[in-house]
Chains A and B, each alone.
Chain A
């Protein structure tokens, strides 16, 4: 059963477990590839995670002159192939969400690969496996559909894509509280 990463952004409590977990994924070489932001840092404590959304038409891969960014058969957009990346940093400029990181010493781009060693076998990525607040979940499309029924939005807004995102993505993002008009934390 194909599962996908599903984000309920406003659940985030800012513990940054996902960053720590990311460093521990096999082959991430102890460097995390995801982000957690304060939404309004001077006023309240609401945070939201941001990670690669694994675009269906990834700008990073389209802009890469070396074809170093491969798309896995699961749809995951992989980190740069170590022998191909020529260090031009086009991908960091192209990504609409500013996700790829660049290591100047190694002349190499690295980004979220959705823990491909795990997700290719259907195991959840590291970040989702540690998230204590159900912000990051690893769900089948059916489970995501059930959530949709549970929230019963009448404003037609559900799993967000446009206008919140720039294109269709393999990772699904949602803000059920905000979209329903139920203020949870902020």
Chain B
């Protein structure tokens, strides 16, 4: 609390002082931004789709939960450090490439296995594309009008961006966008469920609420969404209102769950780009040399940051020799421990660490 007050004083920021907490401020700004965007997008609320009202409430509750979690998390010392330093380095030349590899193409998941990569691309992109279609519709940022001549107008932010034939490819793709993404998500979730039943690591660690619940929710959202289409086309709309409610309900529950369960990685993951920038930038600034063997094993900055973070947690590992344990490279740190056990200074013997990898 004191720290917060000090920050406010230092910056002398009246906007910050006007709010009881970061939470209140972020919440207020987002809801205002949403309202303004909707106001413009719907041409002063003349094109609001009231069927989508539930989503609007759901989104606002979601934003509340999201800020609550994100702010609590950002206050943790190590998180705060990476966020603060990482954001400053956001303009590095490598940022676009790292972002694409980490957030869009998931190269690192590919290296964990093609199955896991396929599964994640289907779920992840299925969801992202769905959101790109749904949210603009919900908040009126995008809607369609039909001319007499069988052409659709796609209106974004109140401006006509495209006119397409009602039976053309683009029109068909946009009517079916949510059906296609639903199929993607269903396929991906089935792959994930299958892996969760077979893979030993997954089986050991998984919990119903953390690991299965989000998968079932995604499944429910996609299946009820597809069912809506099915009812429209084959049942002439029979049962549609009920199904529509179930679908809305499942989306809202998923949104509210998102900040608290496994799906919280979606808003948090972009931090991996910050972490990569942080490591690359400070590695260029200067590398730390191991106090024992002199190998460069981490950036000076990160070594110092970790020592500080541990200090905040009241952990301090000082070696008898006076330096911090984090100032030794990993093999030396391990040998140093053997030396503490045996009484013989193993870490000082100039012999490279023996192979420690047993290939199974």
Same complex: yes
A interface list, Cβ under 8 A from B: 9-10, 16, 19-20, 22-32, 35-42, 46, 48, 50, 57, 59, 62-67, 78, 82-84, 86-90, 92-99, 103, 105-108, 113, 116-117, 120, 160, 163-167, 173, 175, 178, 186
Cβ B358 vs Cβ A98 within 8 A: no
Would A64 and B359 count as touching, CB distance under 8 A? no
**Cross-chain contact B78 with A63 (CB below 8 angstroms):** yes
Do the beta carbons of B358 and A23 come within 8 Å of each other?
Answer: yes
- Check B10 for interface membership: any CB of A closer than 8 A: no
| Residue among A78, A88, A95, A164 making CB contact with B340, cutoff 8 Å | A164
Pair B315/A62 contact, Cβ less than 8 Å: yes
Q: Is the CB–CB distance between B204 and A37 below 8 Å? A: no
Determine the distance from Cα of A63 to Cα of B262 in the docked complex, in whole angstroms. 20
Please name all residues of chain B whose beta carbon is closer than 8 Å to the beta carbon of A40 when the two chains form the complex.
342, 344, 346, 349
* Complex contact A178–B343 (CB within 8 A): yes
Does B33 interact with chain A (Cβ within 8 Å)? no
Smallest beta-carbon distance A8→chain B, Å: 11
- Number of B interface residues in the complex (CB < 8 A): 66
- Known contacts: A23-B359, A27-B204, A116-B205. The answer to whether A106 contacts B310 by CB under 8 A is no
A32 touches B358 (CB 8 A): yes
Contact A98 B333, CB 8 Å, known A37-B354, A39-B338, A175-B341: yes
Are B317 and A96 in contact, CB atoms less than 8 angstroms apart?
Answer: yes
Contact A50 B201 (CB under 8 A): no
* Alpha-carbon distance between A99 and B329 when the two chains are bound, in angstroms: 11
| B interface residues (Cβ-Cβ under 8 A, vs A) | 73, 76, 78-79, 81-83, 102, 108-109, 111-112, 199-205, 262, 265, 268-269, 271-272, 275-276, 278-279, 298, 302-303, 305-306, 309-310, 313, 315, 317, 325-326, 328-335, 337-338, 340-344, 346, 349, 351, 353-354, 356-360
- Whether B276 contacts A87 by the Cβ 8 Å rule is yes
Q: Do A19 and B272 have beta carbons less than 8 Å apart? A: no
User: Which of A30, A57, A86 has the most C-beta atoms of chain B within 10 angstroms of its own C-beta?
Assistant: A86
- Supply 8 further A-B pairs (C-beta < 8 A) apart from A38-B346, A39-B344: A50-B337, A62-B313, A63-B309, A65-B83, A98-B331, A103-B111, A106-B108, A165-B340
Contact of B349 among A41, A50, A163, A167 (CB under 8 A): A41
Report yes or no: B112 in contact with A106, Cβ–Cβ below 8 A.
Answer: yes
Whole-angstrom CA separation of A167 from B109 in the bound complex: 35
**8 tightest Cβ-Cβ pairs between the two chains A and B:** A27-B201, A26-B200, A117-B204, A23-B360, A98-B333, A30-B360, A19-B358, A86-B272
**A105 and B108 contacting across the interface, CB-CB below 8 Å:** yes
Contact B202–A27 (Cβ < 8 Å): yes
Q: Which residues of B contact A41 (CB under 8 A)?
A: 349, 351, 354
Q: Among the listed B298, B317, B360, which residue makes an inter-chain contact with A166, where contact means beta carbons less than 8 Å apart?
A: B317
CB neighbours (8 Å) of A173 from chain B are 341
Contact across chains for B334 and A98 when beta carbons are under 8 A apart: yes
Q: Which residues of B contact A105 (CB under 8 A)?
A: 108, 111
A contact face: mostly helix, strand, loop, or mixed: loop
| Distance of B330 from chain A, by nearest CB (Å) | 4
Q: Given the known A-B contacts A38-B354, A65-B76, A98-B333, are A24 and B360 also in contact in the complex, defined by CB atoms under 8 Å?
A: yes
CB distance from A65 to the nearest CB of B (A): 4
Cross-chain contact B325 with A65 (CB below 8 angstroms): no
B158 to chain A minimum Cβ distance, whole angstroms, is: 38
- Nearest A-chain residue to B202, judged by Cβ: A27
> Which residue of the partner chain A has the closest CB to B112?
A106
A167 to B309, CA, bound (A): 17
B317 contact set on A, CB distance < 8 A:
59, 96, 166
Partner of A90, one of B302, B340, B353: B302
Cβ A26 vs Cβ B201 within 8 A = yes
Residue of A nearest to B266 (CB): A83
Residues B275 and A87 in contact, CB atoms below 8 Å apart: yes
* Pairs across A and B, CB under 8 Å, 30 listed: A9-B342, A26-B203, A27-B202, A27-B205, A37-B334, A37-B335, A38-B351, A48-B338, A48-B341, A50-B334, A64-B78, A65-B82, A78-B205, A82-B112, A83-B265, A86-B269, A86-B271, A88-B279, A90-B306, A95-B333, A96-B325, A96-B337, A97-B333, A98-B337, A107-B111, A107-B272, A116-B204, A164-B340, A178-B342, A186-B342
